[in-house]
A and B are shown apart, each in its own frame.
Chain A
Amino acid sequence: MIAANVSRDLARAISAVENRISDLPVALAQLAANGHHAAVGHADVIGVTGPPGAGKSTLVDRLIEGLRTAGESVAVIAVDPSSPFTQGAVLGDRVRMQRHSGDRGVFIRSMASREGGGGLAPATRDAVRLAEAAGFDVVIVETVGVGQVELEVVAVADLILVVTVPALGDSVQTIKAGLTEIADIFVVNMADRPGANRTALDLRQMVREGQRDIPVLQTIAQDGTGLPALLDAIAARRHGDDSNAVRAVRFEVVRRARDRAVMAALAQLDSADGAGVLDRLRARDITRNDAIDALVALSEGPVHAY
């Protein structure tokens, strides 16, 4: 059940975890204090991933429409890339979904990827949990436009749609590792474009060779063509066994370990010792390799003066 004040309370809670003002338990406690305390595990999390410009946001807009028609409330966490140079970001996924504004059963939040390297932001996972606690039946996570190796959505989603478009490559692309391995449903969007049948055929062939039961569906998100079949495929898979749980947990454990290591490295780079090494590098006192060795040694263990 979605309470009246959910938008602002959930928005605030997400900001708190995103900006590391609160950790997840504190943010959940605050949501609960405001009357939002739906049970863990009641929501289904649908991941939508694929290359930039494939129509992910437009497809998500259609999924919202379909799920709302079926009477389900929907939260969307839509991630767009942060600049690695300025930390700035343009978050434009919302443009495609604005017609749902004013519907209390829909909550849409854009999120800059910040330090997240796997197609999501560091706080995406917590935001999903908060949206669930706020009572949403379905949480859709839209990744940044991804390449072949940004797969972090597997740690968050119960069900993953990999959205592609015609003519991005020949059948060899379909047997490469990475993105094609994580799909529960393949969507060939912009199916009115030349090459759509070929792309779908290549994917079906790959699925069959892998002896997997993964639907390959064609859609035109712009006008809604193919959406009923996609919604049926999603519904059929939402309440099956949790075969994605093991890979999700493995992925998340590794990700957290990596995050801790990255935080440690950044802390050392920003420390006085780290700055000293970088000053010497800038002054050509030491080589790049020397600087790397010294900085790695700093973050790994006993601090010694270089």
Chain B
Amino acid sequence: MPIKVLVAKPGLDGHDRGAKIVARALRDAGMEVVYTGLHQTPEMIVNAAVQEDVDVVGVSILSGAHMTIFPKVMQLLAEQGVDDICVVGGGVIQEDDIPKLKALGVREVFNAEASTQDLIDGIERIVAEYGRDRTRRAAVQTSAP
């Protein structure tokens, strides 16, 4: 089954050219990409991720607000009991902050130099390593009433 990804643009920054290029590139790599549009709050991102039941949430931040937004996204996911949706980040993010984001549980951070192929490879690797166990879900089904 195709990998399903939410591409999210939080905050006030109004530049979504990059997010659209990413959405298109992931589409061409055979993924199903939900795009939310601009100006999303962490609550909107997490609600969309839950309802869409995506494998990966990709959050694009160019405004410098990443140390505010990622902790909130991770906290809201935890509050909803979601532990099987991987979060990755992209945009303009200082090298110093990357270890801090990873400590929060962000699986990968793609900076501005990453190519679309890097993104595709990264997401496929993350889903393979940390993604939900799809065979386990199948097994649950056979034991259901």
Contact = CB atoms under 8 A, between A and B. Distances in A.
**Are the chains A and B members of one assembly?**
yes
Interface of A: 7-8, 10-12, 14-16, 19, 21-22, 26, 29-30, 33, 82-83, 86-92, 94-95, 98, 101-102, 107-110, 112
A86 B29 contact: yes
Interface in B17-41: 23-24, 26-37, 40
B141 interface: yes
A26 B141 CA distance: 7
B81 A8 contact: yes
Interface stretch (B50-58, B60-68, B96-104): B50-58
Interface residues of B, number: 34
A88 B28 contact: yes
A16 B34 CA distance: 18
Contacts of A94: 34-37, 48, 52
A33 B33 contact: no
B43 interface: yes
A109 B81 CA distance: 19
A196 to B, nearest CB: 27
Contacts of A7: 47, 50-51
A135 to B, nearest CB: 15
Nearest to A82: B32
Contact of B29 (A33, A82, A88, A91): A88
Contact of B137 (A8, A21, A29, A110): A21
B89 to A, nearest CB: 20
B80 interface: yes
A103 to B, nearest CB: 9
A8 to B, nearest CB: 5
Contacts of B134: 19, 21
A88 B29 CA distance: 7
A22 B144 contact: yes
B2 A95 contact: no
B30 A86 contact: yes
Contacts of A22: 141, 144
B138 interface: yes
A168 B144 CA distance: 50
Given A26-B144, A86-B29, A101 B52 contact: no
A94 to B, nearest CB: 6
Contact of B53 (A12, A82, A89, A90): A12
A90 B16 CA distance: 15
A30 B144 contact: yes
A88 B35 contact: no
Given A22-B144, A94-B35, 10 more contacts: A7-B50, A8-B80, A14-B53, A15-B53, A22-B141, A33-B144, A87-B2, A88-B32, A90-B27, A112-B32
B1 interface: yes
B120 to A, nearest CB: 11
B138 A21 contact: yes
A89 B33 contact: yes
Nearest to A88: B27
B51 A11 contact: yes
Contacts of B114: none
28 contacts: A7-B47, A7-B50, A7-B51, A12-B53, A14-B53, A19-B134, A21-B138, A29-B145, A30-B144, A33-B145, A82-B32, A86-B27, A87-B30, A88-B29, A88-B31, A90-B33, A92-B35, A94-B48, A95-B37, A98-B48, A101-B44, A101-B47, A102-B43, A102-B44, A109-B52, A110-B34, A112-B2, A112-B32
A102 B29 CA distance: 31
B82 interface: yes
B46 to A, nearest CB: 9
A21 B47 CA distance: 23
Contacts of B26: 88
A97 to B, nearest CB: 10
